[in-house]
Structure 1
């Protein structure tokens, strides 16, 4: 495997780890060792960190778009074009006009939303689109969803 493919894989795994840290439980050493049978269901005295609302919204949005696309395909419409447009918009197609100088800059708290949250949201959306595409039969919609998932993951990996 060439180095650039390996680095893209490593980048994608790093982004997946930011979305769901449990993904690293698949790699050795495996998960926590339970000392007694009640430890698995016992309450955790530490509060769980809040989930990133941008990632949760991205999963919801990607799932809804995929559902609408499948429903439109069942009705005989051709949703592949608007799935491609949706993914192109999500991948930050540049705005064709220029801002007047000096232009709006980031606020005192930095750019909002955080760039790493945007990339984590793209990876989450890519996984949703890929999972829906994997469940569809051969056709234009499956190809559009799979290509959209690849495009989102590629953009997120490049901007890591």
Structure 2
């Protein structure tokens, strides 16, 4: 089947098998490998992307279901000039990553979360990210990073 979607601001059209997961479409057919495959069961959140502005675990969605959608991946978070998104910068400055495998999904989930709750408490951040797992157990600095990004955004 032919699918067309806007990924990080660019129109992408490809032929896909109807059973192709969105995560595999993004990685294998579009070549955006920042979106990670962690579990294929929606348990870890490493594959989180935005579909029409909402956080979605892309291992739970077929590419054909995203036909006509606007997709944003971790590669689309930085500005066109390469300036990091406030969340990316906060993760860097607050050591919000260890091995880095969960980081793209965490950043995408946190971005969606902050859009809904721009001034969260620590407990709200922890609850908002509970669907994303860090195998290195770096949650303290992940939460610290999200709170720093929220504070930076509030100051602008």
Asked if TM exceeds 0.5, the reply is: no
Greater RCO, CA 8 A, separation 6+: 1
User: Which of 1 and 2 has greater Rg?
Assistant: 1
Aligning the two structures, in what range does the TM-score lie when normalised by the shorter sequence? under 0.3
| TM-score of the superposed pair, with normalisation by structure 1 | 0.24
**Which has the larger share of helix?**
1
**Which has the larger share of strand?**
2
